[in-house]
Amino acid sequence: MEWILGGGIIMIPLLICSVLSLAVIIERAFNLRRSKILKPEIIQTIAAIRCQEDIPFAISKCEVIPGPFSSLLKRILTNNHLSREEKFIDIQAAGRQETKELEKRLLVLEVITAVAPLLGLLGTVIGLESIFGIISEFGLGQAKAFSGGLAQAIRTTVFGLFIAIPSLVAYSYFDKKVDTFVLEMEEYSMQILNKLYPAQRFENN
């Protein structure tokens, strides 16, 4: 704690960034598990769809089991008056909405990745300004004050990078994970589409 306090006032926003980053990483690690996104019950429901008569049961399962995947499936299974092309466009629109749901809070990590090093740099500049102020007033004889300003400059930079690097790694990992989930949901969506429109399966491809 003494090391952090020695970094000056810039350590306060850096501490806030670190707490936010850690909270988002924990939350996303818990909620972006495969078992919570591509729920086995929904996958089994997709496999069980054989004909139009199976659709009401599948929709009821989606209503009982919440989540972006079940929301997408429910969207696919409704509005069956649409043509295959219209349904495909509707699936794309629904997919974009669910992708945003999966990506929520990742923006926080992205912003922290950019802001934390800049805050560290700002702390460095403030520390250097303090050093030059001491030098201009007392010369180079005030070694203790000189070293205090230098410590402040170094600490904020180190702490800013210490926050930014794990945040960047976590953001890249979760972003890639979301992309993987989206691709799998698209594959399952096409399976359902081919079941709903078997006669048009190979048209316009």
Q: pLDDT by residue (tens digit) across 143-175?
A: 555 666 677 778 888 899 999 999 999 999 999
Instruction: Categorize the per-residue pLDDT at 3 as very low, low, confident or very high, splitting at 50, 70 and 90.
Output: low
Q: What is the mean pLDDT of residues 41-62?
A: 82
What's the distance, CA 199 to chain centroid?
A: 39
Q: pLDDT by residue (tens digit) across 99-126?
A: 888 888 899 999 999 999 999 888 888 8
Asked whether the predicted pLDDT for residue 137 surpasses 70, the reply is: no
Instruction: Categorize the per-residue pLDDT at 15 as very low, low, confident or very high, splitting at 50, 70 and 90.
Output: very high
pLDDT score recorded for residue 5: 60
pTM (predicted TM-score) = 0.77
Cβ neighbour number for residue 4 with a 10 Å cutoff: 15
Asked whether the predicted pLDDT for residue 68 surpasses 50, the reply is: yes
Long-range contacts, stretch 38-43, CB < 8 angstroms, 24+ apart: 38/69, 38/181, 38/184, 38/185, 39/65, 39/67, 39/69, 39/70, 41/65, 42/67, 42/69, 42/70, 42/73, 43/188
The single-letter code of the amino acid at 139 is G
Q: pLDDT by residue (tens digit) across 35-45?
A: 888 888 888 88
Q: Which position has the higher pLDDT, 183 or 134?
A: 183
Q: Which position has the higher pLDDT, 135 or 19?
A: 19
Asked whether the predicted pLDDT for residue 201 surpasses 50, the reply is: no
Q: What is the mean pLDDT of residues 73-79?
A: 81
Q: Where are the alpha helices (DSSP H) in 139-196?
A: 143-196
